[in-house]
Amino acid sequence: MTTDFFDYIIVGAGSAGCVLANRLTEDPQLRVLVLEAGPADHSLFIHMPSAFAYPLANDRYNWYYHTDPEPFMDQRSMYCPRGRVLGGSSSINGMVYIRGHALDYEGWASRPGLANWSYADCLPYFRKAEHRARGGDAYRGDSGPLKVSTGACRNPLYSAFIEAGQQAGYAYTDDMNGYRQEGLGPMDMTVHKGRRCSAAVAYLRPAMKRPNLQVRTRALVARVAFEPGSSPPRAIGVQVVNGQRIDLLRASREVILCGGAINSPQLLQLSGIGDPDALRHLGIAVLAPLRGVGANLQDHLETYVQYACKEPITLYGAMNWRAKLRIGAQWLLQGTGLGATNHFESGGFIRSAAGVRHPDLQYHFLPMAISYDGSAPASFHGFQAHVGPMRPTSRGHVRLRSADPKEPPQILFNYMATEQDRKEMRAGIRLTREIFAQPAFDRFRGRAVCPTDAVQTDAEIDAHIRAHGESALHPSCSCRMGSDEWAVTDGSARVHGVAGLRVVDASIMPDVVSGNLNAPTIMLAEKLADTICGKTPLPRSDMPYFVHPQYKSVQR
């Protein structure tokens, strides 16, 4: 297909964009174009699960964003990687498959205009998307495109973490994506036969075999184009940077933005949709005055609780070049071994205090002491738990620096701006120390590395978080759904005040969910694909979910 006229233009081949490309082109009469600013996803470092730190830590497949100085984090400019490649962030993330808690979606549905986003409405779409290696049930899917497996937990440290949690009084959960999220147990990952199952692998590659789908890489969209004089303004396509030229690509039905929580609000503002005063200041004509564009930005902050390990069984032994060669060869030849896992094989969710209805702290356990993106290499045998609050009350923003689409936007999360967030993070560190102090870790536990045992008071813990806290890489909510004056889209993802334009990605979440965001983003794209295509929604689920019966009076 060589025409520049399409029914739908999808901007961004990330998690949501890949889903929409697949589902919309199931109708052979629809012509769909996907535009991705980055390259194809051919690198072995993308497809080898244990190598995810490489694409995560450089700008080849990554927008490589950094925040403005964070005022409550010692003025640090913090790293905010976003995928710029086929598959988007699903091609560079840690491959953790977590759906969030049922009550997150009940909270969405309690907002005006969002009644059809309840857990009962969303669960069928999680199941539709998923192909679980262990088989499906009333909560889990077994025939969807997205391949999901569960960590084998062969290293004894994984089991020690789960056992220590039980010794500390927390429940064991064998499926934190099923009936019961609360507790510690094995974790799921988007890995299939030892390879990353990104949204590009699961959805886009199969759809690219269809003649009615066209995918263009290295295509930077400058702005959405609108029909002159239309009322309300109607999107008719996009303007794409082509060297020194701007090309117009037309969409007869809709333009759908799938750029994520940073790029979607950036593109809306470049197109004249946003806070009118800010747009006028940059010389951008105001098309639709929506103050909520780029506002309400949320993310999960986390910190590492690290200990030295007394036994040489950690991944530190796999960090020398000879070991890496052996691991790489085994993965290439057999698809097995240490290269075939993301190494986040156990973890869980707990509540930080009595009175919290559903878990507000998440754990990822790792049998090594290292930074998430590999920027601080391991130098000793150690282990760590990543812990952080799930429902932050701090809010940030995404704003334009200029009207140049090539210039990165201003990003500020305002991490730790509220006392509630600081309180939950303090609890996270103290409760994690308590878990590591249990008998299950006696044979493994060495000295406390970070934070050290000297960090005890609220003020000392707060200072530690300011200096060492990192993004869990879950930016969201910057174009949130709703019907109030700060909402950007309605419950069907249509942008308020204009026609022919939707946003479908994590930016439309009203509030961040309690967990990693890849699975929820794929779910919402599956659900909205049915909406866009005019299909009857999947039947609602009546499956129950666990809430601690004594949550008001006990913490565990």
Over residues 545-553, mean pLDDT = 98
Over residues 428-436, mean pLDDT = 98
Distances (CA, A) of 68 to 63, 81, 271, 372: 15, 14, 23, 21
Check if 364 is active-site. no
Q: Is 94's pLDDT higher than 50?
A: yes
pLDDT in tens, 472-509: 999 999 999 999 999 999 999 999 999 999 999 999 99
**Neighbouring C-beta atoms of residue 375, cutoff 10 Å:** 12
Q: Taking CA 528 as the corner, what is the angle to CA 527 and CA 534, rounded to the nearest 5 degrees?
A: 105
Q: Could you write out the DSSP letters of every residue in 145-170?
A: SEEEEE----SHHHHHHHHHHHHTTP
Q: What are the binding residues for FAD?
A: 85, 93-96, 221
| Residue from 47, 343, 381, 474 carrying the catalytic annotation | 474
Average pLDDT over the chain, rounded to whole? Answer: 96
Q: Is 372's pLDDT higher than 80?
A: no
Contacts of residue 170, Cβ cutoff 8 Å, sequence gap at least 6:
183, 184, 348, 350, 435, 556
- pLDDT for 243: 83
Residue 65 lies in a domain: no
pLDDT in tens, 184-206: 999 999 999 999 999 999 999 99
- pLDDT for 2: 36
Which residues span the domain enclosing 365? 152-186+301-389+416-468
Q: Is 3's pLDDT higher than 50?
A: no
Q: Which of 82-91, 377-386, 434-443 has the lowest average pLDDT?
A: 377-386
Confidence of residue 379 (pLDDT cuts 50, 70, 90): confident
Distances (CA, A) of 34 to 62, 159, 248, 476: 18, 43, 14, 22
Nearest to 140 by CA among 69, 188, 68: 188
Residue 496 lies in a domain: no
Per cent of the chain over pLDDT 70 is 98
Confidence of residue 370 (pLDDT cuts 50, 70, 90): confident
- pLDDT for 33: 98
Report residue 467 as tokens. 């200096």
Over residues 384-406, mean pLDDT = 98
Rounded (10°) CA dihedral 449, 455, 461, 462:
-110
Contacts of residue 107, Cβ cutoff 8 Å, sequence gap at least 6:
510, 511
Sign of dihedral through CA atoms 362, 365, 369, 374?
A: negative
Over residues 53-71, mean pLDDT = 95
Over residues 289-296, mean pLDDT = 98
Supply the CATH number for residue 345's domain. Answer: 3.30.410.40
Chain centroid to Cα 346, Å, comes to: 18
Nearest to 425 by CA among 393, 453, 395: 393
Residue 207 lies in a domain: no
Q: Is 1's pLDDT higher than 60?
A: no
Distance (Å, whole) CA 82 – CA 59: 9
pLDDT in tens, 510-531: 999 999 999 999 999 999 999 9
Chain centroid to Cα 509, Å, comes to: 11
Residue 315 lies in a domain: yes
Over residues 379-395, mean pLDDT = 96
Per cent of the chain over pLDDT 90 is 96
Length of the chain: 556
Residue 450 lies in a domain: yes
Distance (Å, whole) CA 179 – CA 137: 11
- pLDDT for 376: 66
Counting the structural domains of the chain, the total is 1
- pLDDT for 4: 74
- pLDDT for 375: 65
Q: How buried is 382 (Cβ within 10 angstroms: 0-12 exposed, 13-18 middle, 19+ buried)? A: buried
Distance (Å, whole) CA 521 – CA 476: 10
What pTM did the predictor assign?
Answer: 0.97
pLDDT in tens, 307-354: 999 999 999 999 899 999 999 999 999 999 999 999 999 999 999 999
Contacts of residue 181, Cβ cutoff 8 Å, sequence gap at least 6:
101, 102, 173, 349, 358, 359, 514, 515, 545, 546
Q: What are the binding residues?
A: 85, 93-96, 221
Confidence of residue 371 (pLDDT cuts 50, 70, 90): confident
Report residue 49 as tokens. 């699960």
Distances (CA, A) of 393 to 48, 295, 297, 387: 36, 13, 10, 17
Residue 337 lies in a domain: yes
- pLDDT for 143: 97
Residue 26 lies in a domain: no
Beta strands at 79-80 and 65-66: parallel, antiparallel or unpaired:
antiparallel
Distances (CA, A) of 256 to 88, 185, 525: 15, 38, 11
Distance (Å, whole) CA 527 – CA 517: 15
Residue 338 lies in a domain: yes
Q: Is 418's pLDDT higher than 70?
A: yes
